[in-house]
């Protein structure tokens, strides 16, 4: 049986994020939150709070209306 785990890399283009919070409310593990900082458009942007716990389910990317979230899975 192969017990390899996948490495997840989640990227949020913070300058494009409008802080709608759809991704935050969709994450089943409550791993996303809003930054205290503002992006260049003046919005608090989404950020991954505990990257080591992200499973790469992709729900956050699916609900993002501006497609600012990308997920890569690596063996």
Compute how many other C-beta atoms are within 10 angstroms of the C-beta atom of residue 56: 16
| 70 phi, psi to nearest 5 deg | -125, 145
Compute how many other C-beta atoms are within 10 angstroms of the C-beta atom of residue 18: 17
pLDDT of residue 13: 97
Would residue 2 count as lying in a domain? no
Would residue 29 count as lying in a domain? yes
Would residue 53 count as lying in a domain? yes
Would residue 1 count as lying in a domain? no
Pair type for strands 69-74 and 7-12: antiparallel
Q: Are 23 and 69 in contact (CB under 8 A)?
A: yes
Domain that holds residue 11: 7-74
| Domain count within the chain | 1
Q: What is the pLDDT of residues 1-59, one digit of tens each?
A: 444 567 889 999 999 999 999 999 999 999 999 999 999 999 999 999 999 999 999 99
């Amino acid at each position: 049986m192969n017990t390899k785990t996948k490495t997840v890399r989640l990227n949020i283009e913070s300058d494009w994020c409008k802080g709608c919070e759809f991704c935050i409310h969709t994450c089943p593990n409550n791993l996303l939150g809003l930054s205290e900082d503002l992006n260049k458009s003046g919005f608090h942007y989404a950020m991954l709070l505990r990257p080591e716990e992200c499973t790469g389910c992709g729900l956050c990317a699916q609900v993002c209306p501006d497609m600012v979230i990308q997920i890569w899975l690596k063996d």
